[in-house]
Structure 1
Amino acid sequence: MVVSVWMIVGFLLAAYSVVANDSLQTLGTYLSSNRNRTPKLTQMLFICTVTCGVLLLGWVLNNGDPAWGRLTVPGKEFPWPEPFTWVYLLPPLAVVALTQWGAPVSTSFLVLSSFMPANIGRLLSSSLTGYGLAFGVGLAAYILGLWLLERWVFCRTRDGDDPSTVWYGLQWFSTGFLWCMWLVQDLANIFVFLPRQLNLVPMLICTLVLCVGLCVLVATGGGPIQAVLRTKTNTSDLRSATLIDLLFGLCLLYKAFLSSFPLSTTWVFLGLIGGRELALRIKQQTSDVLFTSRESGSLARVIGTDLWKAAVGVVVSVGIALSIHPLAQITAG
């Protein structure tokens, strides 16, 4: 298969847009809690090391397929489009635009559905069940006991106490675990622009491109999408971030065992932090210590704003997916 210029440009745009948008889910809490604690060079080395390991392991285990086989699920494939024209650059460009707006858009909907519109229903179903699962996990975990830890974290932070070194190790472990699970799920959104099997040299070049993008992400501190996290309780605290990352990683691991079909990790993340925030607000009613974030308004406003922006992304995704094939035929003709 001959790789065209449009395919390469599409891959580069997808790598940039997916990393910039999805950093909210996976690296957002890590970047927030380590902003003034860990040198950025150390953060870059850590993230890039994990990325290289997961990419190359997936490439080896799946016979040259860096997307961990998620584009070639029997009966649910995302086939190579014919012809491949510049119109397939529209999905990653839309992700970039929505990211600058601060929307936690689903790159799975925007990118993957454009290559195979028939899979929109499956993507939506898989993602909504992921949202429900994560919302339930977040609500149950925090309302049954983790809210006590969040209240303790708030009081310790208020008193100026720094986390012990044990929490640093735990957070880096949870971030590494989560980042691995996210890569397994979402690499399909990036490598959908390239042949389903890559030789060693192209694979190494792609790995280098992704690592450069991640380094830029760390250097800039996460970009406008970080605003979604800053409206939630204690998300900049290392201890709270550790629990969020661990629970999110477990949700993705469970979904990976259930099915190898892609899903929107964005919706899984929104479900988790939404359920968490609801649990904390409920427990706040019975506590004499104010430990929840109220700067961004009511619970309905905080969660509703996230869901509204994510829903806009879904509508845009469906519109692009349904129009991209006719546009491709017109431009090819």
Structure 2
Amino acid sequence: MITNVSVICWHFQDYPEFKKRGSVNQLRQMENSIIYLGFLIAAYAVIANDVIQTLGTFLASNHKQKWWVLWGFASVILCATLIYGWNLHQGDVTYGRLDKIPLPETMPWWYLLAPLTLLVITRFGIPVSTTFMILSVFSSQQVIEGMVFKSVIGYALALVTALIIYLVIAKRFESDEALENLDKKNKRYWLAAQWASTAFLWSQWLIQDFANIYVFLPRQLSFPELMMSLTVLLGIMAYIFNSRGGKIQKIVNQKSNTRNIRSATLIDLFYGLLLFFYGNMNNIPMSTTWTFIGVLAGREIAIHYLLRKQHMKKAYVLIGKDFAKVNIGLAVSILIAFLIQFFKV
């Protein structure tokens, strides 16, 4: 009898501790749910919003091809780039882009505000900087300043470079006469060149934007975690390819000759080279969206200046709209970062 009473008293005295442990376990389960839910939402929103940069011209110029063929091609590149980075950096699939952005010790619900906002914006077909939108809430002020500086320079460099290049080549490759003279024999060569340039660009974009997709997950992934995340990404890609890029694909379709395979090849090549040389100068994350919009802006100005001067106003309007849209993302991301700081207090 005395023994039973002692056991009961011991349990009663330690009940608060058991209750505390139960709360901790529930809190950990909730945080794990937020981590995986955040990854899922961020993966879809980032790929859906940024797909126009790398695969937009590919989808536009191959609109007659079956979607699953295009998906299979892009999926092979994705798998190779992800697994190569995982092996090279000992489990880090972001190629060091998150070295200065550690995973928070706790993951409260408000960290979902950023990917959810990006998801809503993407559904409206507005291209924004997913780097600013997702990474700002995890980053220090110093890191954010570095990302903004690198992205602004990237936009200016892309605009000036594309402007100069297209002032040289626009008459030869973008005029109506040049497009009409693209015979079937040459078209086959350009088709091979376009798929090659797309593979190169797609791999360079993934190296930059894996940070935005994987910021919710541990910085060193185990093999099961790698396979789980890869399966999720391939499923998201299948949905996006089946819908031909969604509403945001209109940004590319509105630009001059983007359905022409030669034009699409040149855009992908120039953009890929910019990401390769400028994006890999250091491991600071950058907005690939700003660089892409810069390439399109410089290209449009050159083409309209040389070939369509009577429509220059239209070109400036399109460029202004695109620039305004990407700045919406910057403003919203900064607002969300401030909101999260408020919740932390």
Normalised TM-score (structure 2): 0.87
Identity percentage of aligned residues: 38
Asked if 1:27 is matched to 2:60, the reply is no
Aligned mates of 2:124, 2:69 — CA distance in 1: 29
**1:35 shift after superposition:** 0.9
Equivalent residues of 1:139, 1:275 under 8 A apart: yes
Equivalent residues of 1:64, 1:198 under 8 A apart: yes
Query: Which moved further from structure 2: 144-153 or 276-285?
Result: 144-153
Equivalent residues of 1:20, 1:217 under 8 A apart: yes
Q: What pairs with 1:1-333 in structure 2 (closer than 5 Å)? A: 4-36=32-64, 38-72=65-99, 77-118=100-141, 119-151=143-175, 155-156=179-180, 164-284=187-307, 298-327=314-343, 329=344
Aligned mates of 2:313, 2:122 — CA distance in 1: 22
Amino acid at match of 1:25: Q
Aligned mates of 2:332, 2:165 — CA distance in 1: 33
Amino acid at match of 1:11: F
Aligned mates of 1:285, 1:65 — CA distance in 2: 48
Aligned mates of 1:103, 1:51 — CA distance in 2: 24
Equivalent residues of 1:25, 1:269 under 8 A apart: yes
Which protein is bigger by CA-based radius of gyration? 2
Normalised TM-score (structure 1): 0.90
**1:215 shift after superposition:** 1.0
**1:247 shift after superposition:** 0.4
Tell me how many residue pairs correspond in the alignment.
Answer: 316
Aligned mates of 1:257, 1:103 — CA distance in 2: 27
Query: Which structure 1 residue ranges, 5 or more long, are not aligned?
Result: none
Equivalent residues of 1:147, 1:279 under 8 A apart: no
Aligned mates of 2:296, 2:91 — CA distance in 1: 35
Distance 1:297 1:54, change over 3 A: same
Distance 1:44 1:91, change over 3 A: same
Equivalent residues of 1:117, 1:321 under 8 A apart: no
Aligned mates of 1:163, 1:270 — CA distance in 2: 29
Aligned mates of 1:160, 1:53 — CA distance in 2: 34
Equivalent residues of 1:178, 1:246 under 8 A apart: yes
Aligned mates of 1:279, 1:86 — CA distance in 2: 47
Distance 1:161 1:57, change over 3 A: closer
Distance 1:135 1:147, change over 3 A: farther
SS state of the match for residue 114, structure 1? coil
Distance 1:187 1:90, change over 3 A: same
Equivalent residues of 2:48, 2:240 under 8 A apart: yes
Distance 1:172 1:87, change over 3 A: same
Amino acid at match of 2:328: V
Distance 1:40 1:268, change over 3 A: same
Alpha-carbon displacement from aligned partner over 1:243-277 (angstroms, at most 9, x marks no partner): 00000000000113321111000000000000000
Alpha-carbon displacement from aligned partner over 1:257-316 (angstroms, at most 9, x marks no partner): 321111000000000000000001110257xxx9xxx6x961221100101111111100
From the two aligned structures, give the one with the greater helix fraction: 2
Distance 1:176 1:103, change over 3 A: same
Alpha-carbon displacement from aligned partner over 1:164-188 (angstroms, at most 9, x marks no partner): 2111110100000000000000000
